[in-house]
Structure 1
Amino acid sequence: MQSIKPDPRTPFFIVLNAGSGSSETAERRAVIDEVLTQAGRSFELTLVDDPENIAAIAERAALQAKAAGGILVAAGGDGTINAVAREAVDKGCLFGVLPQGTFNYFGRTHHIPEDLGDAVRALLDAHVQPVQVGVVNGRIFLVNASIGLYPRMLEEREIDKKHFGRSRFVAFLSGLKTFISPHRRLRITLELDGKERALRTSTLFVGNNRLQMEQVGIAPLSDALEDGKLAAIAPKSVGKLGMLVLMLRAMLGRLGEAENLVTFSFRRMTVRPRKFYGKRRVKVATDGEVTQMDTPLEFRVLEGQLLLLKPAAAMEEQAESARGARDTAWEQA
């Protein structure tokens, strides 16, 4: 798709997550207001002060953006970005991101600055690029989706963050505690390309983010994401020590070297429980948010992509990389 730059008069409709404190929220609002006002850009900002209201607020902002021919913008962590992106896809709006989370995988993958002022300024000069979206049972995910131990880890991490603060160190310690604690194994059947495969694992992780795959050290799967596929990771049945070793390998970026790991890529996959302890519903995490879903679970790449505003510098770097790859291929031919 040819790079398109939106009309500089196009208004922004921003959904801002209030975060952990009123002073921090006021500071973020002030930064957004200052940058956009100085640029003479029209915008409307809506604050999410209760996570329970984010879906309704995002839908309302998306309808306003669609009616005005505007750009829908999410300001928050990956969960907030997911909720607003869901409406952008549904309403066909252009979509911008102001990353404000702990890990910011989506923003970092697309080279969107983590500094709020820089991210707002990047929106003003951004170009539109369609990006891949994953979906499970109708719910989209931009970074990852999972069942089993990983959703449990996310729930416990939220509890620990409320007690000890939001930081990557707290997230790591919380994850370590969960991974070495006793947990049940999933007994599931995967259907891929008409073939079935039985799997026993503690967690099934489906990734849609190249940066995350590269960080844990599974390069082939990160390449698959560029080919319109999703990446699946599932540890084989191992004990506490085995789980600890896997986690350490992931931290060191060497998870791909593990022997007790199942990895593959796909465009569509059905997951059915062989034995889900009598339950027909299962907890599914999508971009850090945990919900209950009916089985079977249908994972696939969404038809029709998210129209993301990507910084101009990132687009030029991407174009230069593509030119370099073509030149290399030509020289080798």
Structure 2
Amino acid sequence: MTSPTAASAPFFVVFNRASGRGDRDALGPAVEAACTAAGRRCELMPVTQSGQLPDVAREAVRRAQAVGGIVVAAGGDGTINCVAQAVLGSGCRFGVLPRGTFNYFSRTHGIPAELDAALQVLLREQAMPVQVGLVNGRVFLVNASLGLYARLLEEREGWKRQFGRSRFIALLAGMRTLLRGHRSLQLDVELQGKTWQARTPTLFVGNNALQMEQVGLPEAQAIDAGCLAGVTLKPVGRWALLALLARGIFGRMGDADEVQSFGFQTLTVKARRFGASRIKVAADGEVLKMALPLRFEVAPEPLLLIRPAGMAPERREVQA
């Protein structure tokens, strides 16, 4: 069977009714209307129960493979991550309709947050290869972390459930976490055949150039060059951490002596605490326990993402 071209391939749209923005009930009709107007077939695949998303994503991939279709994730970075996990390595093209709070993955690739504009990208643009990060085989598109940053994300979700989803709520939650204090991780880090001991509040691994640029870290260039970006902090007190948060807000974190950053393609991390076999890791905002050692790496093959060509306008603005 000859696979359909990008201009005629059907869409299989996975979206999560169990969480996310309040406009999720309007998403389906908007997608159907845009596809009908363009003469394209689409199949909506809603997730209605918590925990159902991975199964629905795998089913979308199966159906897309059978007819040369395109798998589309509609949601925030967590939903997009889960669908990307199913798509990676399948040979399917991947589309995104961003509906989250931060939308870093879509923003770094120039996909607009407005639904109508994102649909036009999906209907008109071509698939291009984009880099994927892996931690112990699990996909991350934006970042993966352990220690303080993972704890911050975990506590932020509790605030969002209680007070709603917004960047202001996320900032308040982060400040509260930093003020409560923290314990440093004691890690053995292996990079390019060399091992060193690191005592740090957090290890952050980025795969999103826009996020790096916005906080003022130079490793955005490493990501553009096909690497991941590692970031550690020297052990500091809570007020110094708040000062670092302020630097990040104003795009000046790279100037801080307490911040160490580096690019890499493969990184192995072990805990020096006796008996530790698992550790909490946050991957694109979802916190889970993973077995040690941790292996961070660039995935051997990319996602084929439907996106506008060239650098995203938001990245050009940050660099200007």
The interval holding the TM-score normalised by the smaller chain is: over 0.9
State the aligned residue count.
310
Residue pair 1:19, 1:25 contacting (<8 A) in 2 also: no
User: Could you state the TM-score of these two structures normalised by the residue count of structure 2?
Assistant: 0.93
Pick one of 216, 223, 226 that aligns with 1:225.
223
User: Could you state the TM-score of these two structures normalised by the residue count of structure 1?
Assistant: 0.90
Residue pair 2:132, 2:303 contacting (<8 A) in 1 also: yes
- What residue number does 2:38 align with? 39
Offset of 1:169 from its aligned partner? Answer: 0.5
Answer yes or no: is 1:310 the counterpart of 2:302.
Answer: no
Q: For the structure 1 residues 317 and 179, does the alpha-carbon distance in structure 2 shift closer, same or farther, using more than 3 Å as the test?
A: closer
Could you report, residue by residue, the CA deviation over 1:169-214 in whole angstroms, capped at 9, with x for unpaired residues? 1011111111221221100010011111110111100000000000
Partner-residue secondary structure (3-state), 1:90: coil
Offset of 1:248 from its aligned partner? Answer: 0.6
Residue pair 2:20, 2:76 contacting (<8 A) in 1 also: no
CA RMSD of aligned residues (A): 1.7
- Counterparts of 2:132 and 2:21, CA distance in 1: 33
- What residue number does 2:97 align with? 98
- What residue number does 1:252 align with? 250
Offset of 1:257 from its aligned partner? Answer: 0.4
The structure with more helix, counted as a fraction of residues: 1
- What residue number does 1:290 align with? 287
Offset of 1:19 from its aligned partner? Answer: 5.8
Offset of 1:23 from its aligned partner? Answer: 6.2
- What residue number does 1:140 align with? 139
Q: Which amino acid aligns with 1:99?
A: P
Residue pair 1:6, 1:128 contacting (<8 A) in 2 also: no
Instruction: Give the 4+ runs in structure 1 shifted more than 4 A.
Output: 19-23
Q: For the structure 1 residues 35 and 19, does the alpha-carbon distance in structure 2 shift closer, same or farther, using more than 3 Å as the test?
A: farther
Partner-residue secondary structure (3-state), 1:51: coil
Residue pair 1:135, 1:300 contacting (<8 A) in 2 also: yes
Q: Which amino acid aligns with 2:108?
A: T
Partner-residue secondary structure (3-state), 2:254: helix
- What residue number does 2:318 align with? none
Offset of 1:92 from its aligned partner? Answer: 1.8
Q: How does 1:45-124 map to 2 (within 5 A)?
A: 45-124=44-123
Q: Which amino acid aligns with 1:222?
A: A
- Counterparts of 1:266 and 1:125, CA distance in 2: 34
Could you report, residue by residue, the CA deviation over 1:87-130 in whole angstroms, capped at 9, with x for unpaired residues? 11132210000011100001000110100111112111011110
Offset of 1:247 from its aligned partner? Answer: 0.6
Identity of aligned residues (%): 49
Answer yes or no: is 1:280 the counterpart of 2:277.
Answer: yes
- Counterparts of 2:20 and 2:183, CA distance in 1: 37
Offset of 1:316 from its aligned partner? Answer: 5.5
Which ranges of structure 2 fall in alignment gaps of 5 or more residues? 316-320
Offset of 1:27 from its aligned partner? Answer: 1.2
Q: For the structure 1 residues 229 and 13, does the alpha-carbon distance in structure 2 shift closer, same or farther, using more than 3 Å as the test?
A: same
Residue pair 2:142, 2:207 contacting (<8 A) in 1 also: yes
Q: For the structure 1 residues 120 and 199, does the alpha-carbon distance in structure 2 shift closer, same or farther, using more than 3 Å as the test?
A: same
- What residue number does 2:210 align with? 211
Q: For the structure 1 residues 268 and 39, does the alpha-carbon distance in structure 2 shift closer, same or farther, using more than 3 Å as the test?
A: same
Q: Which amino acid aligns with 1:71?
A: I
Q: For the structure 1 residues 81 and 37, does the alpha-carbon distance in structure 2 shift closer, same or farther, using more than 3 Å as the test?
A: same
